[in-house]
Amino acid sequence: MAESGPRPIVPTLESLGLARERPLVIVDVDEVLGLFMKGFGGFVAERGYELRFDRFALFQNLYRPGEMEHLEVTEGRKLFDEFFRSGCGELEPAPGAVEALARLKPKAEILILSNAPASAERLRGDWLRRHGLPHTLILSSGPKGPITAGLTAQCSGKTAFIDDLLSNLDSVADHSPRTARFQHVADPRLRALAPRSDAHPRIDDWAQLGEAIERAIS
């Protein structure tokens, strides 16, 4: 199915401080580099709500304590937006992620591509630097295939893309089919709920994932 919406503005690799001749690894943040659900769950708990793990979703997992019907999506989105304005700098790194990217850094350019509101840019950038991940950050929205294709088209080396969501992995497969794709779900509580696809290897251990990425870009 064709994706609708405006074409993304794709920066040049040079403007991002990235070399065209090196392999390029594009990595998501939430539930890939950082434990988003754990952090968001703590954030909403401080405001009197519960984040349950009923399904691989976000807004449908938000409840008032003791209630059986989840919050209205509009209420959940308000909490989501507030989290990215003020709370997204408190995530725990996914186990092994920092070490795996440190091992990949001499072999490839690393770019962080996160679907998050513009209000999160400072907190998210600070979070990356504080945890030893001072890589280039791009905030985006919508399917990640078009912007990934625009970035990988500039690269003469091999490319890889890592995300937790099949929708983004499928989008990259459609728009940048030569890019190696890997699914990673960081929170163990989500792994049994997360859909998977034979089209994208699913590797939930960052040590193994780092090795697979290195093989893919070599």
Q: What is the pLDDT of residues 13-31, one digit of tens each?
A: 999 999 999 999 999 999 9
Closest among 161, 146, 147, 158 to 199, alpha carbons compared: 161
Check residue 2 and give its pLDDT: 47
CB contact set of 36 (below 8 Å; sequence gap of 6+): 29, 30, 91, 186, 187
Say how far residue 145 (Cα) sits from the centre of its chain.
13
* Average pLDDT score over residue span 106-110: 97
What CATH code is assigned to 24-35+92-217? Answer: 3.40.50.1000
Which pTM does this prediction carry? 0.94
160, 182 Cβ separation under 8 angstroms: yes
> What is the domain partition of the chain in residue ranges?
24-35+92-217, 36-90
Please answer whether residues 88 and 197 qualify as being in contact, where contact means their C-beta atoms are separated by less than 8 angstroms: no
Place of tokens 């979703």: 57
What's the pLDDT at 49?
A: 97
Q: What is the DSSP letter of 73?
A: H
